[in-house]
Structure 1
């Protein structure tokens, strides 16, 4: 069972986790990652973060990475909620939650999907500092290295 949402509106983490647990009542573990907007990035103040995407293409890419996780680990359910639009520091950006019989599979699958989202999901990020200056944000080398470890023996999902 999979729920994928790309949306401008905020989301309720507790409600999302409760819904996942209700869809997967037979499992023993739910692992999740919640990403939020920082007020600093690379020693630059961040006043707002704008996330852009291609509707349809982005959802398909998220569905493919969730399917890839289901191939690799015996997981029962996945929820991915990713926001787009203009966000401020401390705003929620992304929730990845995975239900599985055991914690190891849920944690691994959650980490795998986040590593993909940070490097290859079709989102474009622009940070705006307090003066109004804008800077497009690329994936960090450390994010690419984290993702690469998952693909030593696998082909990545195609966007």
Structure 2
């Protein structure tokens, strides 16, 4: 039994069991995702702090509720969504939250959505497009992932070729 106390919490000090990680990925990252959130009270505190962060960034209450629901569906805390974490479970949940917010109100601009999640507007486009593709959802943005991935592969190949040793004059005349 873990006993965790913090300022402002005066409730019972017993551990409430948290759902055990089921998949290999969840088991691998469980110690990093919630090392302290083994108690429900601490988990609630992280959620409140995350909601406070989104509120400070100017996110309306209706969208904060969407973020809270997505975080609960992925069994993570809202603070992890508000952070700059690149753990896969946080990224997938953040992408879903962005998609659902954009689906709720298509008039929200990408820079505004990016400010709420501390991302660039092109990162928001990419996140929404990846979520659409991964889950075969209706298109909300016209971001062509195939074209972007092809371009990135070409750029990477050019970098590799440019770093390769240049041919000697004798080798160039043979070709």
- Structure 1-normalised TM-score? 0.34
* Structure with greater proportional helix content: 2
* Structure with greater proportional strand content: 1
| Greater relative CO, 1 or 2 (CA 8 Å, sep 6+) | 1
Highest CA radius of gyration, 1 or 2?
Answer: 2
- Structure 2-normalised TM-score? 0.31
